[in-house]
Amino acid sequence: MWISVYAARHNRQPEFFCQLMEGIYNMKIWIARHGQTDLNYAKRMQGRTDAPLNKKGIAQAKRSRQNIGDVHFDAVYSSPLQRAKLTGSIIGNVDINEVIVDDRLIETDFGRYEKSKYYLMGLPMIGYWLFPKIFPVPATVESIDSMKERASSFLRELETHDYENVLVACHGGIMRALCGYLDDASDGLRWERAKNCEIRVYEYKDGKHRFVKSYSLEK
């Protein structure tokens, strides 16, 4: 009886709580990179510059929503930067005011390389961003350890919730640390570059993670 009452109060089906008590409930965590901005199009390091989505970026987010079907998200989290918030709102199918902003999801701080052309940054930064295990972090740039710490802090907290599906809208840099954590990678990283509006889906169950699938607009 109490399960039905509690379920109605929390907008859940009674079966959800039965599964939770039996230990078979699992959460799906959807990690999405934002859509295209003008800085992306110009192939410049974007970092913490608060650039908006351009027309193509908005269209990408709408196509991504179509790609995943009618999935309902119990919550949508986002970086504080507007390109991620709008992407989360569109893919998550929620009003932008319902998006939960978390500063730990902000893009990597590129320091003095902000807005630099990808291939005109100089060897120290190019080398570091391509091979972070080999090249040291350049001065003024956020370290890998910092990225991993805020990514793991966010996800450990997220895992304490009882969401069935949760969307996390973020950026190409911090996504490497978020996915590294969810891949249970030994170095805490998945350095494969995510495309604009690419979504990677993970399952969290019994304290373990499993990669489920990815959605990409580009072949």
Residue 178 lies in a domain: yes
CATH of the domain at 206: 3.40.50.1240
Q: pLDDT digits over 122-148, tens only?
A: 999 999 999 998 999 999 999 999 999
Residue 161 lies in a domain: yes
CA distances from 203 to 48, 81, 192, 210 (A): 29, 26, 19, 5
Tokens standing for residue 112: 């003095």
pLDDT of residue 187: 87
Q: pLDDT digits over 163-173, tens only?
A: 999 999 999 99
Q: pLDDT digits over 91-115, tens only?
A: 999 999 999 999 999 999 999 999 9
Q: Is pLDDT of 61 > 80?
A: yes
Residue 116 lies in a domain: yes
Q: Is pLDDT of 90 > 70?
A: yes
What's the mean per-residue pLDDT of the chain? Answer: 90
Residue 75 lies in a domain: yes
pLDDT of residue 2: 41
In this prediction, residue 218 has a pLDDT band, given cuts at 50, 70 and 90, of confident
Q: Is pLDDT of 219 > 60?
A: no
pLDDT of residue 133: 86
Residue 159 lies in a domain: yes
**In the chain, how many domains are there?**
1
CA distances from 61 to 56, 57, 108, 169, 217 (A): 9, 6, 21, 11, 10
Q: Is pLDDT of 15 > 80?
A: no
Q: pLDDT digits over 110-123, tens only?
A: 999 999 999 999 99
Residue 8 lies in a domain: no
What's the rounded mean pLDDT across residues 10-35?
67
pLDDT of residue 178: 97
Residue 135 lies in a domain: yes
Residue 10 lies in a domain: no
The bridge status of strand 208-215 relative to strand 199-205 is antiparallel
H-type helices in the chain, by residue range? 2-9, 14-22, 38-41, 55-68, 82-92, 123-130, 144-158, 172-182
> Which structural domain, as residue segments, surrounds residue 74?
25-215
186 or 169: which leads in pLDDT: 169
pLDDT of residue 171: 98
How many C-beta atoms surround the C-beta of residue 15 within 10 A?
Answer: 11
What's the rounded mean pLDDT across residues 64-89?
98
